[in-house]
Amino acid sequence: MPTKPKPKEIMNRKEAAAYINYAPNTLATWACKKRYNLKYFKIGRAIRYHRSDLDRFLEDRLIK
């Protein structure tokens, strides 16, 4: 059985959106309107996300 590839540590917006199962435009809207405290960094026009920040974002929203 093939193994699922491990997600990269640093992802672009499209990869990050797929990782948390949202559309890239949703992440762009959240960033623009500062709706959530989802950390990202910007170099020029490139937006990147750390996988650990995406995991923390999801963990913070876990209903316990």
- Higher local confidence (pLDDT), 6 or 60: 60
Domain ranges (residues) in the chain: 10-60
Q: Is the pLDDT of residue 1 over 70?
A: no
DSSP annotation of 36? S
pLDDT at 3 over 70: no
The DSSP line for 7-28 is PPSEEEHHHHHHHTT--HHHHH
pLDDT score recorded for residue 64: 85
Query: Model confidence over 8-62: pLDDT tens digits?
Result: 899 999 999 999 999 999 999 999 999 998 999 999 999 999 999 999 999 999 9
Over 70: is that where the pLDDT of 4 sits? no
Residues, the chain: 64
Q: What would the two tokens of residue 62 be?
A: 């876990």
Distances (CA, A) of 39 to 1, 5, 64: 35, 24, 23
